[in-house]
Amino acid sequence: MVTKARIITLPARLSKTRQLNAYPWLTVVPVLVLVAFFTIYPFAYAAYLSTHKYLLIQPGNNPFIGTRNFEQVIGDELFGVSTRNALVFIALTVPAVTALGLAVALLANEKLRGMGILRALILLPWSIPLISTGIIWKLLLHGNIGALSGALMELGVIDSYIPWLSKTDLAMYSVSFAHIWREFPLPAILFLAGLQTIPAELYDAAAVDGANAWSRFIHITLPLLRAPLLVILIYETMISFSVFDLVYALTGGGPGSATTLLSWYAYTATFKFLNLGQGAALSFIMAAGIIVFILLYLKLVPQEEVSI
Amino acid sequence: MTRVDSRRGAILYLCAILLAFYILAPFLWSLIASIELETELFIKPTHFIPQQPTFANYLYVFTGQIPAEYAERGLLRSPITQEARFIPQGLANSFTVALSVTVINLIFGTLAAYTFARERFRGKTAAYFFVLGSRLLPAVAVAIPIYIIMKNLNLLDTKLGLVLMHSAFTLPFSIWVLTLYFQSLPSEIEDAALIDGCDRFGVLKNIVVPIAAPGLAAIGAFAFLFSYNEFLFALFTTQSLNSKTIPVMISAIGSNPDASYTLIAVGITLSIIAPIALALVFRRYIVSGLVTSFGR
């Protein structure tokens, strides 16, 4: 009897052990395959493209050319222009988005009746397709039917409609304005979450010590928001650096090259001039640029000391 | 003291109203523009309240009945485009793709994340960082190769191609958020169930999933929004009505000189209803998901 029982149970236990070993991989492999296939492999492929001559209009002629693609895109006149534009765009949007996000978070953190409605609204600009945002703002900023001009005229600020997007000296500000509307919700939410972790006792204690609202903000709130601040700066810089949909919908890089950002230059190299090698080289240059920014922020934003 | 308080309250409310206006005005304007006649849109100064509100353009999009006002304007310019008639199909494509991506994220994301959170196995760390690391690659860098891959697999201009691509882009994020979420749950009940002879999958299905609903709602909402909103990849991998999503369609209408501004506004309005509804309904989960993923 004993022997028989062992014979019956042994295979069952064996198969169970094997199943337990296979289970983790069974759950992880589908994801690994998909991710490898649609991100890692294409990335390696892009590395290959960037070091080869690869024009779609000249199929079959793809010699290895080392760093020539990089030299050519950097040597192009548009590279300087679009790099400068990209930096201007970052300088216009990232601080604005961060400051507006913080202001909104401070407001939404007030314990007043009805603030719940505001907190619900904050997410909306962030939730819709960027391309819809772009077209909405195209209508708002239009030179003939633009509601922004209409409203400003009604208020007596301007006396004729302004084509915000087709004037060379205004286009960059206009695109930035639309971008800020779209992007401030995320910093607002992250700052709000940060504010909610600050214990009220800290403020009470400071108030007892006679600190006014401003000095409480400077000495308590800001230092305790360092962690979200760093994340927001890095993330928003990446977003501003790689902005595409908005430029596509609003200006197409124009007028002239007024809103040709580095990301738009990479897009045109790839999809207009079908020079895949140069497009790939540009995207690597952009990736390097992002890393430079991350290192810069890590240095600039004082880090909390590592604590338990 | 109370006077200062009430003045402070008044200022705060004023700020809140201004902010609400800043957020809502662009939405309201596209709604207004979508029910104004184009002739009225061109009147200066702008009519912020339509004098003859009309749903004729919505009717055109859904039934093909050409608005009477356009016929009157004669042969000079007929500011209407057949493209607008494809909006319902575009919405249907977007929903099919985005819902599929959501389901894939919920199933495969949950399975993988739970394994990363609880199992110990060789190669786990490597696999985890392999998945997460893929998020660091800039989208532009993989755009061209993905086009070539999709072409070689005959996936261009198919909804399946979009679903696979969007899933690959969203899964790392979902897995990250869910792994953190699962790790934050107490494991005692799960351990007890394992000792009682339940296997990992049984524990996940019967014990973890029911209590992890908020985390699942968050990643589901993210996956849906990402896929529904994604433009660049949808733009260059789709060509026909068979797979064009709503962002691709409204961008075409938006830059079509034949489309009236009213019609463009109709397109925008129809494109943003779903994400706005989702953002309002799932707000709590989306916010906690964002906070989890970005850290406090």
The predicted-structure confidence for B157-166, as pLDDT tens digits, reads as follows 999 999 999 9
Tell me which of A33, A113, A131, A243 to substitute to probe the interface with B (most B C-beta atoms closer than 10 Å). A131
Q: Is B98 helix (H, G, I), strand (E, B) or coil?
A: helix
Share of chain B above pLDDT 90, in %: 49
Selected residues 105-164 of chain B with any CB under 8 Å from a CB in chain A: 108-109, 111-112, 114-116, 119, 121, 124, 127, 130-131, 134, 137-146, 148-149, 164
Is it the case that residue A110 has pLDDT exceeding 80? yes
- % helix / strand / coil in chain B, to the nearest 5? 75, 0, 25
CA distance A279 to A69: 9
Partner-chain residue, chosen from B246, B280, B291, that has the shortest CB–CB distance to A190: B291
Chain B residue with minimum CA distance to A40: B134
Interchain pair B44, A150: CB under 8 A: yes
Per-residue pLDDT at B103 exceeds 90: yes
Most confident region among A60-69, B25-34, B195-204 by mean pLDDT: B25-34
Mean pLDDT value of segment B64-71: 73
Q: Is the pLDDT of residue A299 over 50?
A: yes
Average pLDDT, chain A: 86
Backbone angles phi and psi of B38, in degrees to 5? -65, -35
Lowest mean pLDDT among A35-44, A91-100, B104-113, B213-222: A35-44
Phi, psi of A165 (to 5 degrees): -95, -20
| Minimum mean pLDDT range among A287-296, B6-15, B113-122, B140-149 | B140-149
Query: For the segment A174-208, what is each residue's pLDDT rounded down to a tens digit?
Result: 999 999 999 999 999 999 999 988 888 888 888 88
Q: Does B13 touch chain A (CB under 8 A)?
A: yes
pLDDT at A72: 87
Confidence (pLDDT) at A147:
86
pLDDT of residue A50 exceeding 90: no
What's the pLDDT score for residue A3? Answer: 42
Lowest mean pLDDT among A42-46, A78-82, A244-248: A42-46
Which residue reads 């991100």 in tokens?
Answer: A39
Q: What is the mean pLDDT of residues A12-39?
A: 76
Residue A20, chain B, CB below 8 Å: the answer is: yes
Question: Does residue A306 have a pLDDT over 70?
Answer: no
Chain A positions in Cβ-Cβ contact with residue B249 (cut-off 8 Å): none
Note whether A163 contacts B: Cβ–Cβ < 8 A.
Answer: no
Say whether A154 and B45 touch across the interface (CB within 8 A): yes
pLDDT value at A86 more than 80:
yes
Question: Is A267 in Cβ contact with B165 (below 8 Å)?
Answer: no
Q: What percent of chain A has pLDDT over 70?
A: 91
Q: Reply yes or no on whether the pLDDT at A17 is more than 60.
A: no
**Mean pLDDT estimate for chain B:** 88
Question: Under 8 Å CB-to-CB from B259, ≥6 apart: which residues?
Answer: B79, B80, B81, B83, B84, B253, B267
Per-residue pLDDT, averaged over A279-299, amounts to 87
Banded model confidence at residue A1, pLDDT cuts 50, 70, 90: very low
Q: What is the pLDDT of residue A11?
A: 45
pLDDT at A84: 95
The pLDDT of residue A58 is above 90: no
> Hey, what amino acid is at B26?
P
- Using CA coordinates, name the residue in chain B closest to A155: B45
A35 in B contact zone (CB under 8 Å): yes
* pLDDT exceeds cutoff 60 at A15: no
**Option in B26, B124, B296 nearest A193 (CB):** B296
Give the pLDDT confidence score for residue B218 in this predicted structure.
93
Exposure of A55 by Cβ count < 10 A (0-12 exposed, 13-18 middle, 19+ buried)? middle
Question: What's the rounded mean pLDDT across residues A151-180?
Answer: 91
Confidence of residue B65 (pLDDT cuts 50, 70, 90): confident
- The proportion of chain B whose per-residue pLDDT surpasses 70, expressed as a percent, equals 92
Chains A and B form CB pairs within 8 A to the count of 271
B130 and A124 within 8 Å at the Cβ level: the answer is no
Least confident of A85-89, B41-45, B100-104: B41-45
Q: What is the mean pLDDT of residues B80-86?
A: 81
CB A171 within 8 A of CB A165: yes
Which of A36-40, A116-120, B215-219 shows the lowest mean pLDDT across its residues? A36-40
Q: Does the beta-carbon distance from A286 to B296 stay under 8 Å?
A: no
Q: Which of B159, B67, B183, B51 is nearest to B104 (CA)?
A: B159
Task: Report chain A residues whose CB lies below 8 A from the CB of B137.
Answer: 39, 43, 287
Mind listing the pLDDT tens digit for each residue in B2-47?
A: 666 788 889 999 999 999 999 999 999 999 999 988 778 888 777 8
pLDDT given at position B70: 66
Give the pLDDT of residue A12. Answer: 45
